[in-house]
Amino acid sequence: MTSVKASDNEIILIGKVLNNTNEPLKKRFRALFTLRNLGGKQSIEEINSCFKDESELLKHECAYVLGQMQDELAIDYLIKILEDESQQPIVRHEAGEALGALGDDRVMPILEKYSTCSISEIAETCYLAIKRIRWLKESKEEVSENPYKSVDPAPPSAEKNIEKLTTTMLNEKEDLFERYRALFALRNIGTTEAVLSLSKGLFVGSPLFRHEIAYVLGQMQHEAAIPSLEESLRDPLENCMVRHESAEALGSIGLSKCNNVLKEFLQDKARVVKESCEVALDMSDYNSSGEFQYANALLST
């Protein structure tokens, strides 16, 4: 996270970019991540204003960012989004995950309520959030270092054996929280073998689980993940939550063969997939540009 400071007026100007539907989506994403890095009450309010937008991808990312900011001022906003049945499931799920990321046990009643939601992505997310908060409060186990600095839905398992972790991760009879712990442990190991093990998870389990696999493969930025991510994106029967995350992962890897696949889906019938490919190509451009900062909206205000 950047140490750059900004005045409330500068933050409001960045918020105007985020909330301007006439701006290219890639520019609005950069504004969002600039606000994340700046932090504080005004940034949170500008991000919250974006939940009225029509783009479920952008709103989903807003909820994600509010969780990553680790500021309790976001709690009430996130609860409102989780409860709002007019919001798309991908947005409500991300609000639930963000509440878990904040780790405040005051949100347990709302998470428990939605852990039995009829929409499986929301129910599973809230279950994981409950388990994470309880683990943080009760476990004597130390959280191992996360090389990606993200706030994850579950702490990594202490197990280091790739074969054992893979078995746990792929076992659909295993508790979902333990499967998540295994997948984050594999991510942190970071070897080609770990990437190939994770890639198997793209094709088993619930949409929520598969989307998390795609997310961590994007974090790892390993070429060995490309075939599985491409297969996931190309599958018209795959859940759009998974396809969108696979697209963004390909953009994070950023090789020309990834970009060629993403360009094929810039007119996908599913808006969230189409927009994910647009944003993924912008991220890929950034990765190859030598720019110091992706979240650079402050420079253009």
Residue 293 has pLDDT above 60, yes or no: no
Comparing 99-108, 138-147, 171-180, 291-300, the range with the smallest average pLDDT is 291-300
User: Please, are residues 30 and 297 in contact by the beta-carbon 8 Å criterion?
Assistant: yes
User: Please, are residues 205 and 179 in contact by the beta-carbon 8 Å criterion?
Assistant: yes
List the binding residues for Fe cation: 60-61, 93-94, 211-212, 244-245
Domains in the chain: ranges and CATH: 1-140 (1.25.10.10), 150-301 (1.25.10.10)
SS3 for 293?
Answer: coil
Comparing 35-49, 196-210, 243-257, 287-301, the range with the smallest average pLDDT is 287-301
Q: Max Cα separation, the chain? A: 53
Residue 92: its H or E element: helix 89-102
**115-172 tens-digit pLDDT:** 999 999 999 999 999 999 999 999 888 777 789 999 999 999 999 999 999 999 999 9
DSSP secondary structure code for residue 141 in this structure: S
**1-24 tens-digit pLDDT:** 445 689 999 999 999 999 999 999
Neighbours of 183 (CB within 10 A): 30
CA gap 199, 171 in Å, rounded: 14
Query: Read out DSSP for 148-185?
Result: T----SSPPPS---HHHHHHHHH-TTS-HHHHHHHHHH
Nearest Cα residue to 238 out of 197, 260, 207, 214: 207
Comparing 57-66, 170-179, 226-235, 289-298, the range with the smallest average pLDDT is 289-298
CA gap 281, 136 in Å, rounded: 36
User: Please, are residues 103 and 71 in contact by the beta-carbon 8 Å criterion?
Assistant: no
CA gap 16, 42 in Å, rounded: 12
**109-118 tens-digit pLDDT:** 999 999 999 9
Q: How many residues does the chain have?
A: 301
Q: Which amino acid is at 259?
A: N
**39-81 tens-digit pLDDT:** 999 999 999 999 999 999 999 999 999 999 999 999 999 999 9
pLDDT at position 2: 45
- What angle (nearest 5°) sits at the alpha carbon of residue 285, between those of residues 284 and 290? 110
SS3 for 239?
Answer: coil
Residue 286 has pLDDT above 50, yes or no: yes
Per the confidence metrics, is the pTM higher than 0.85? yes
Average pLDDT, the chain: 94
Nearest Cα residue to 271 out of 91, 14, 124, 81: 91
pLDDT at position 1: 43
CA gap 105, 265 in Å, rounded: 41
Quote the percentage of the chain above a pLDDT of 70.
94
List the binding residues: 60-61, 93-94, 211-212, 244-245
